[in-house]
Amino acid sequence: TGAIAKLPGPECEIFVGHVGGAAGRVKADATAFPQRSSHFVMNVHARWREPAMDKACIDWARALYEAAKPYAAGTAYVNFMPEDEVDRIEAAYGGNYRRLLEIKKRYDPLNLFRMNQNLRPKESLRAA
């Protein structure tokens, strides 16, 4: 895709990490994170400091995401997802999503723990 040649800023990067080993020996439903069979993970770091770079950096990251999509497993790691990707939360948790909603409803009904990709208690109430 030429994404490396088009890095929009000096703090932007594409990280590809090898995963597996001990993480791959954990059952998918043993923790919130279910993706245990992948061998690699890609994280697109679109970081910048100047507001004038917002569009260029966001557009670059989204274009790279779309270009990589056909080669990806279709899963996600929630800690790599930006705030505006709330539509991918359920897919990131896979088969664990409904169980996590019930846990959220039971132990955090006031949504005290709401940073990052939040599971909202109201969603769990609708899903029940």
Model pLDDT for residues 58-114, shown as the tens digit of each residue: 999 999 999 999 998 888 888 888 888 888 899 899 999 999 999 999 999 999 988
Domain containing 41 equals: 1-75
Residue 112 covered by a domain: no
Q: Report the SS3 class of residue 39.
A: coil
> pTM score, two decimals?
0.76
Tell me how many domains the chain contains. 1
Residue 120 covered by a domain: no
Residue 85 covered by a domain: no
Q: b/e string for 97-109 if b means 16 or more Cβ within 10 A?
A: beeebeebbeebe
CA distance 61 to 107: 35
pLDDT per residue as tens digits for the range 8-27? 999 999 999 998 788 889 99
